Amino acid sequence: MRASKSEGLQAYGFESCPRSECRLGFLTQKNE
């Protein structure tokens, strides 16, 4: 389990892309 990496990517993604589309993309990647 890479919770740390996932969290880091999530935080970076959310901050880098505050848009709904970007957020959805990151959520989808995490689910994959």
| pTM of the predicted model as reported, rounded to 2 decimal places | 0.19
Instruction: Report yes or no: 13 and 27 within 8 Å, Cβ to Cβ.
Output: no
* Per-residue model confidence (pLDDT) at position 15: 56
Length of the chain: 32
* Per-residue model confidence (pLDDT) at position 9: 58
Name the 3-class secondary structure at 18.
coil
pLDDT tens for 1-32 read: 455 555 665 555 555 555 666 666 656 666 55
**Integer Cα distance of 7 and 4 in angstroms:** 5
**Integer Cα distance of 5 and 8 in angstroms:** 5
Taking the CA atoms of residue 16, residue 32, residue 1 and residue 21 in that order, the dihedral angle to the nearest 10 degrees is 20
* Per-residue model confidence (pLDDT) at position 2: 54
